[in-house]
Structures are given as structure tokens and as C-alpha cells.
């Protein structure tokens, strides 16, 4: 694992690393923010952040204004990349498929199945790597934006014992029924719609009827988001939560759009939501 | 003047505009953040922000985390571009000369003199445009980063009656004696070193001995900034302030570098510093 940048920020450190991912079969970059408390001995909890289409580990760390709040609360943040990358990795000309658009699932169709196993990467390989190299506790939360909001919900719904809470900004809530999701699922998973159903947050949430399957969840949506009705469909997630009794808080914000200006406006609320659970006795 | 983007942020609005600049002889883009208070009738004061080499109006607005604090305090922020731009505008292959590197002075040497009048643009044309189109008061402060810190100090030292306060992150304090400054001044101003002296913040500050020439000033410097000793030279500014009795607060921060992670870490302190003067009775 190679450290490729270090910047002091709010008394802690933002660092980027490159490592060889066995799961993805390529070299990957991630970023970690270590709050000032991480230098004081006691392990800190970690929020994992999954970004949206076209993003890398950098967008959230640079634009969300999250580090100030993480420094105050004493939580680490890990930002993953959005797909496998590199010359030998399958790609597509579209911004919404291939490199930069991994959709946080495990691909089963050629040519994607060779490298595109982002679900296993962000939910297992990356947390194990973080635990091995940084002073973190076992308490983890997960959050993301747009495609990454879908990814965060997937991780929380498929592995509820690994996280204490989940949140998302402007997530793709029901990819089975949205153009972005349909294009990606057809490529990564092929034609078998039964497979698709295993990677749809609304279907998974509707089925999560047992308390052990449920986590405290918060979703923030901008009501002037141009992707709202066709791509995001938060009402599908709300109906799923209603059906299963899932503890979902859905916050709708008039006037806000899909951008990081929206994320920045409410990231403090989401981080304090996670802190309630990350620091619970 | 054409509105080219609008994003709700922290209850207010971030907007970008394009306009034809008579001073620069080209089309220019700027960004303004209007806090929630701007929609409530009373005019708001304005902080002008000048960015560093290679930047546009976007870097500060996206990365500094300033909008949250501006929304709380009720101040507008205007972010200018860093040079004239466009096909007919002189340029250079270097990142530190030509487009993206206007140095906030008025060029007098060919070919730059035709368009490169960034000092007149940011200190006069742009404020007049802002006053004509937005609900702002006459109270103005100015701040900037690196090359833009030099620009903010120039504006405050050359037009002290136009501003209530000035601040800078990691400014080029003594360009006459620094490689970045020497390259830019030789190109934009030619060989006459007497001319250069009119655009050097340390020389201007040393000569600002009268109270009417002085403004409350705050400079933040990272002590692990790789440009510190050769390009920035804050000790030259500190000595100038000492010589003239200029009210300069110089804050030195161990471990911090030249990046926006540093700016973000202390922007709240700088904005609260300006608020003391922008909202003074």
C-alpha cells in the first residue's frame, strides 16, 4: 500500500493511498480522513463514503465540507473510487457504464465479471485493509451520493451486521425501474431479471422485515433535482420502508438539486445522524 | 449579463454569470453566493475572493466550505476569474503566465497590455457590476489565496477606502523578489523595476504609514507549504507591517500546506474576522 498524498486538514490528516486489489484485479486508489482523535490512541469509528457516476475518491473529500464535522466528532471517513480502473479493465464510452460507473455490485456477465466486483471491494476488501493499517474501531457506517447512495443502501441491506447506520444523498432508489440502473444491470448482470432483484435497494428494503435486517437510515433528496422522477424515484424506497417497517427517515428539501452544493448543505446533519449510532454505548 | 448556473446552497443561492468586460475586452465569468438574508430585503455586505494560479471562479466556491459560514453571517461572496480568457487573448504555455495567471495587475507591456487589466477589473468594474445587479450594501472586504492573496493585498493597499478589511491565505507577499512574481512582472510590466514596485504588497505595506492607508488585515500561512520560503516570503510582509505600523495579524499554522484543505481549515476564522468589520456599526 503506497501513500500518495497527505494534507493536514482541521487538525487531522487527509491521505490518499494506492493498493493492489485482489478482488478487483487492478490497482485502486482510496482516500481516508483521520480526525485529530486518531492520533490520541483510542480507535475511531469509520464512515465509508461511496460516490456517484464519474467521480473518484476526491469529489466528496474536496467538496462536501465533511472533514470539519468529522474532526469535531472524531470519526474517520474513507472514500472509495467508483469502479475498477486501468488499461486492462473493461470500459465503455458512456459516462454511466464502465470505469467511473461500477454501481457497487458484483458483475456476472462478460466482459465485466473479470474486474467489476465493487460490492465485495467496498463491503469487505477495503474495510479489511483499513482495519489492518489504521487506528479504527469495528464500528462502521456507510453513506453515498446518487449511484453511491444506491451502493450504500445495498451494503446496509445485504450486510446489516457490518454497519451501525446508513445514509444517502439523492440515491438511485429503484435501479430496476430507472434508465441508469437498467443500462448498468443489463451490462453487468445480463438478462436474468431475477439476478437484478438482488441489487435493487427498494426490493431489498421491502423484504427486510426483521429487526435484525434493519439499520437506522436517513435519505436526503433535493426536490429540484433534475434526476428525481426518472432516475432516483425516492417514493419507491419510501413505499418499501412502509411495507417492511424499515426505520427510514426521508428528508425532502425544496429548491435543492443533485450537486455537491446540496450535499454540502446537509452533510453535517448526516454526519451527526451517524455519530448517534457510531458513538452509542 | 447572462446567468449560466444556479444552485441552492445553505438556504441561499450560488450563481455563475457571464458578461462582457469593457476593461478586459473579453467575455468573463464570475460566481456569486447570495446568503438567505439577501432574499429578505436588506442589502448584504460582500466579500470579494481572488483565486490562485490555474484557478477559475469555481475552486473557492466548491472547495473552501465558505458558503456555510457566509449563510450564517449574512454576507455575499463574489469569486472572480484569475485572468482575461478567450481565443483572442494573449497566453503562454506556462501555468504561471497568461490565461489563469493574471496576477491582478494592469499590464503595460505587449502583448499583455491589451487585455490583462485584472486590477481595474476586480477592484472597479466587477464591484460596479455587482452593485448594479444584486442586493448588496456598499461594505466590501477582500480576500484571496496565493496569487489571489497578493491580489487582495494589492487592492486593499492601493484602494483602502473601498474596503473595510483584507485577508489572505498563503499570499505571494513580495513578488519583486520571488520567481513567480519576477516572471509575471517582467512579462506584464516590462523591464522598468520602478513600475514593479507599484505592485508589490510588501513595498506598498511598508509605505502605508498613515491610519487612512491602513485596514484590518489577517494572513494565514501553512508552515509546511512547499512554496513558503521561495515564492511566498511572509516575513517580508511582517517586516513591512512592523515598519509602517500596519495592523497585520499573521497566523502561522504548523503542518499545513498550500492546498484548499488548508484554506478550508481556517476559512471560518477569516470570514468571522471580516464580519467584525463588515457588520460594524
B256: closest chain A residue by CA? A8
- Beta-bridge partners for B251: B220
- pLDDT on residue B265: 98
Q: Is B96 a catalytic residue?
A: no
- CA–CA separation, B166 vs B122, rounded Å? 14
- The arrangement of strands across the sheet holding B2-9 comes to B2-9, B12-21, B26-34, B76-79, B44-50, B136-145, B165-169, B217-222, B248-253
pLDDT of residue A41 exceeding 90: no
Average pLDDT, chain A: 98
Work out the percent of chain A whose per-residue pLDDT is above 70: 100
Decide: residue A259, CB within 10 A, 0-12 exposed, 13-18 middle, 19+ buried. buried
Measured CB to CB, residues of chain A less than 8 Å from chain B are 7-11, 14, 62-63, 65, 67-68, 222, 224, 255-257, 259-262, 264-265, 268
A254: closest chain B residue by CA? B8
Contact B8 A264 (CB under 8 A): no
Question: A256 to chain B, minimum CA–CA distance in Å?
Answer: 5
- pLDDT on residue B51: 98
pLDDT of residue A170 exceeding 90: yes
Q: Please pick, among A14, A150, A258, A274, the residue that the annotation labels catalytic.
A: A258
Contact B265 A10 (CB under 8 A): yes
- pLDDT on residue B84: 98
- CA–CA separation, A31 vs B210, rounded Å? 50
Of chain A, the end-to-end C-alpha distance in Å amounts to 33
- pLDDT on residue B281: 79
Interface test with B, best of A222, A265, A267, A268 (most B CBs within 10 A): A265
Region of residue A271 (left: phi > 0; alpha: psi -120 to 50; beta: else)? alpha
Contact B7 A257 (CB under 8 A): yes
Nearest CA among B254, B246, B273, B241 for reference residue B167? B273
Average confidence (pLDDT) over A151-157 = 98
Question: A65 to chain B, minimum CA–CA distance in Å?
Answer: 5
Of chain B, the end-to-end C-alpha distance in Å amounts to 33
Map residue B95 onto helix, strand or coil.
coil
Question: A206 to chain B, minimum CA–CA distance in Å?
Answer: 33
Kindly report the length of chain B: 281
Determine contact, residues B155/B201, Cβ cutoff 8 Å. Answer: no
- CA–CA separation, A220 vs A171, rounded Å? 8
Determine contact, residues A4/A18, Cβ cutoff 8 Å. Answer: yes
pLDDT band of residue A231 (cuts 50, 70, 90) is: very high
DSSP E strands: which ranges in chain B?
A: 2-9, 12-21, 26-34, 44-50, 76-79, 136-145, 165-169, 217-222, 248-253
Q: Is A146 a catalytic residue?
A: yes
Query: ipTM of this predicted complex?
Result: 0.95
3-state secondary structure B2-67: EEEEEEEECCEEEEEEEEEECCCCEEEEEEEEECHHHHHCCCEEEEEEECCCCCCCHHHHHHCCHH
- Beta-bridge partners for B3: B17
- pLDDT on residue B82: 98
- pLDDT on residue A281: 79
- CA–CA separation, A24 vs A83, rounded Å? 9
Low-confidence ranges of chain B (pLDDT < 70): none
- Beta-bridge partners for A8: A13
Amino acid at each position: 500500500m503506497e501513500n500518495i498524498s497527505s494534507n493536514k486538514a482541521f487538525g487531522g490528516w487527509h491521505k490518499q493511498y494506492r493498493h493492489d486489489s485482489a478482488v478487483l484485479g487492478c490497482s485502486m486508489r482510496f482516500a481516508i480522513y483521520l480526525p485529530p482523535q486518531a492520533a490520541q490512541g483510542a480507535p475511531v469509528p469509520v464512515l465509508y463514503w461511496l460516490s456517484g457516476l464519474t467521480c473518484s475518491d476526491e469529489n466528496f473529500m474536496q467538496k462536501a465540507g465533511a472533514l470539519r464535522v468529522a474532526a469535531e466528532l472524531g470519526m474517520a471517513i474513507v472514500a472509495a473510487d467508483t469502479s475498477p480502473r486501468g488499461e486492462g479493465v473493461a470500459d465503455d464510452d458512456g459516462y454511466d457504464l464502465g470505469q467511473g460507473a461500477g454501481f457497487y455490485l458484483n458483475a456476472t456477465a462478460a466482459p465485466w465479471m473479470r474486474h467489476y466486483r465493487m460490492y465485495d471491494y467496498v463491503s469487505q476488501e477495503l474495510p479489511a485493509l483499513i482495519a489492518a493499517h489504521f487506528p479504527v474501531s469495528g464500528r462502521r457506517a456507510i453513506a453515498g451520493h446518487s449511484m453511491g447512495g444506491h451502493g450504500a443502501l445495498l451494503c446496509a441491506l445485504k450486510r446489516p451486521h457490518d454497519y451501525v447506520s446508513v445514509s444517502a444523498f439523492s440515491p438511485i432508489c429503484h435501479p430496476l425501474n430507472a434508465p441508469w440502473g437498467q443500462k448498468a444491470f443489463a451490462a453487468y448482470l445480463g438478462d436474468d431479471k431475477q439476478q437484478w432483484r438482488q441489487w435493487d435497494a427498494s426490493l431489498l428494503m421491502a423484504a427486510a422485515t426483521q429487526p435484525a435486517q434493519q439499520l437506522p437510515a436517513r435519505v436526503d433528496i433535493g426536490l429540484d433535482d433534475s434526476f428525481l422522477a426518472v432516475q432516483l424515484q425516492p417514493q419507491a424506497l419510501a413505499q418499501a420502508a412502509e411495507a417492511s417497517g424499515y426505520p427510514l427517515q426521508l428528508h425532502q428539501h425544496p429548491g435543492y438539486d443533485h450537486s455537491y452544493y446540496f450535499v454540502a448543505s446537509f452533510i453535517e446533519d448526516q454526519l451527526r445522524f451517524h455519530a448517534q449510532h457510531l458513538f452509542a454505548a
